[in-house]
Amino acid sequence: MTETVTAPAGPYLSALDDDDLFLMLTIRHFEWKLLDLFARGSLNGTTHTCLGQEYVPVAMRGLFDERDHVFSNHRGHGHYLARHEDPRGLLAEIMGREGAVCSGVGGSQHILRDRYLSTGVQGQSLPVAAGVALRLKRTEPGALACAYIGDGTWGEGAVYEALNMARLWELPLLVVVEHNGIAQSTPTSVQLAGSIGARAAAFGADHVRSGSTDVNVLREELAPAVDRVRRRNRPLVVELITHRVGPHSKGDDARPEAERRAAVHNDWYQRYPAGHAEQFRRLDDAARELVDAVADEVAALPPSRWTP
């Protein structure tokens, strides 16, 4: 089964409740703060921000419950924050400071906490998610395993192996594809033959595709399909056409200028205030202040200590 969700016409996004909007804004300011800290030499290694894609995990969290498992990827800060709302613990992990989620050994990409797991290895989480989905089917009926991947991850064989098992064994596996049109520096159009929908169909998996950036629209349209995953143990691929506003990692953005401008033009952060200026301004200021305070607090903490 393939369904297509049509994006709402016009520039306006529907009104969000304060909790959802504040979370989206917190993720946005968290990601900006990371880039700022790297630019000032306060962080080491690398990081991959989800700038422009914050609405995806916020929309999806309204369809999850506490029994579900979430598997993330290298661009997973928004996924973690939507699941646990813990900017302090995540920043401490990235900075290697006391209070870090994983004692500072996981860094930006490798986080484990309460049915949440992220990994920097493309496609690695899908077979693991399929195994967890098998356990959930046997021991916790109605729960599901969700794996977030990008369009570039369809070049990994693990994706197809996992979908094959999920369909054969009728597993409650949800695959959310954040399709931002570029795999690091390679446009999807030159590295992905056919379509994601056709690839899902090859395994008999359901597929839903949407270009909406409206949290309320996404939840309304995706809810019946996600419910089928729970009730019928039928794998589902949700393909969300999105826009990466920031670079691949800290500064490497090989896209033409026109594409970068188009991403900013479609950015929910630019569009939402058009219809909800007061709410946006109030919560945007609050989210910025929260992230600034968290960054100051974490920077003053001693280094984290890991005990095997």
- The 3-state secondary structure of 5-70 reads ECCCCCCCCCCCCHHHHHHHHHHHHHHHHHHHHHHCCCCCCCCCCCCCCCHHHHHHHCCCCCCCEE
**What stretch of H or E contains 230?**
helix 215-232
Neighbour count for residue 12 (Cβ, 10 Å): 13
Rounded to the nearest 10°, the torsion over CA 147, 232, 141, 199 is: -20
Q: Is the pLDDT of residue 62 over 50?
A: yes
**What pLDDT, on the 0 to 100 scale, is given for residue 19?**
98
Q: Is the pLDDT of residue 94 over 70?
A: yes
Whole-number Å distance between alpha carbons of 56 and 95: 25
Q: Is the pLDDT of residue 251 over 70?
A: no
Q: Which of 15-24, 82-91, 261-270 has the lowest mean pLDDT?
A: 261-270
User: What would the mean pLDDT of 230-234 be, rounded to a whole number?
Assistant: 96
What pLDDT band is residue 9 in, cutting at 50, 70 and 90?
very low
CATH of domain 2-6+15-295: 3.40.50.970
b/e 146-174 (16+ beta carbons within 10 angstroms → b): bbbbbbbbbebebbeebbbbbbeeebbbb
**What pLDDT, on the 0 to 100 scale, is given for residue 51?**
93
Q: What is the pTM of this model?
A: 0.93
**What pLDDT, on the 0 to 100 scale, is given for residue 185?**
67
Convert the pLDDT of each residue in 164-182 to its tens digit: 999 999 999 999 999 987 6
| Better pLDDT: 225 or 181 | 225
| φ, ψ at 158 (rounded to 5°) | -60, -30
b/e 272-284 (16+ beta carbons within 10 angstroms → b): beeebeebbeebb
Convert the pLDDT of each residue in 110-156 to its tens digit: 999 999 999 989 888 999 999 999 999 999 999 999 999 998 889 89
